[in-house]
Chain A
Amino acid sequence: MSDRYEPVIGLEIHVQLNTATKMFCACENRYGAEPNTLTCPLCLGHPGVLPLINDGAVDRAIAIGLALNCEIAERCQFHRKNYFYPDSPKAYQITQYDEPICGEGHVDVDGSRVGIVRAHLEEDAAKLVHAGGSAGRIAGAEYSVVDFNRCGTPLVEIVTEPDLRSPEQAIAFLMLLRTTLRTIGVSDCDMEKGSLRCDANVSVRETGSDRLGTKTELKNMNSFKFLGEGMAAEIERQIGVLDGGGAVEQETLHYDPATRSLSSLRSKEEAHDYRYFPEPDLVPLAPSHRIERIRAELPELPAARMARFRDELGLPQQYATDLNQEARVADYFEQVTAAGADPKAAADWVLNQPGSVDTVPAASLAALTGLIAEGTITSTIAKQVYGLLEQDPGADPAVLVEREGLASIGGGGELEAMVDKVIAENPGLVEQFQGGKEGVLNALVGQIMRETKGRADARQVQQLFRDRIG
Chain B
Amino acid sequence: MIETLGLTAERCIELLDAGEISCRELMAAYLERIEREDGDLHAFLRTRGERALAEAERFDSEGRSGLQGVPIALKDILCTRGEETTAGSRILEGHLPLYDAGVVTRLRAAGLVPLGKTNMDEFAMGSSTENSGFGPTHNPWDRERVPGGSSGGSAAAVAAGFAPLSLGTDTGGSIRQPAALCGVVGMKPTYGAVSRHGLIAFASSLDQVGPFALTVRDCALALAAIAGHDRCDSTSVPLPDPIAVPDREDLSGVTIGVPESLLAQGVEPGVRESFDQAMRLAEGLGASVHEVELPHAPYALPAYYLIAPAEASANLARFDGVRYGLRLEEAGDSIIEMYGRTRARGFGDEVKRRIMLGTYALSSGYYDAYYGSAQRVRTLIRRDFDSAFAGCDVIASPTSPTVAFRIGERADDPWAMYASDVLTVPVNLAGLPGISIPSGLAEGLPVGFQLVGPAFAENRILQVAHALEGAIAFDPTPPGMREAAR
Contacts and interface: CB of A to CB of B under 8 A. Distances in A.
Contacts of A84: 317, 320, 336, 339
Interface stretch (A155-163, A169-177, A272-280, A335-343): A272-280
Which among B95, B231, B324 has the greatest number of chain A C-beta atoms within 10 A?
Answer: B324
Interface in B289-328: 310-311, 313-314, 317-320, 322-324
Interface residues of B, number: 44
A146 B335 CA distance: 13
A431 B35 CA distance: 124
A91 B362 contact: no
Given A47-B85, A47-B200, A283 B314 contact: no
Interface residues of A, number: 28
Interface stretch (B191-199, B278-286, B443-451): B191-199
A90 interface: yes
Contact of B314 (A41, A82, A146): A82
Contact of B371 (A47, A48, A277): A277
Interface string B95-123: 10111010000000000000000000000
A241 interface: no
A91 B314 contact: yes
B314 A92 contact: yes
Interface string A34-51: 000000010011111111
B79 interface: yes
Q: Max chain A CB contacts within 10 Å: which of B92, B97, B318?
A: B318
Interface in A278-296: 280-283
Contact of A280 (B95, B311, B318, B324): B311
Contacts of A48: 78-79, 97, 101, 197-201
B234 A53 contact: yes
A82 B196 CA distance: 22
Contacts of A44: 323
Nearest to B231: A52
B101 A52 contact: no
Nearest to B371: A277
A89 B318 contact: yes
Contacts, number: 97
A22 interface: no
A86 interface: yes
A455 interface: no
Contacts of B367: 275-277
B232 A52 contact: yes
Nearest to B343: A84
A48 B205 CA distance: 14
B459 interface: no
Contacts of B320: 84, 91
A127 to B, nearest CB: 15
B79 A86 contact: no
Given A89-B323, A280-B204, A280-B205, A47 B234 contact: no
B84 to A, nearest CB: 12
B98 to A, nearest CB: 5
Closest 5 CB pairs of A and B: A91-B317, A275-B362, A280-B205, A280-B204, A48-B198
12 contacts: A47-B318, A49-B197, A50-B197, A50-B233, A90-B318, A273-B363, A275-B359, A276-B367, A277-B311, A280-B204, A281-B235, A283-B235
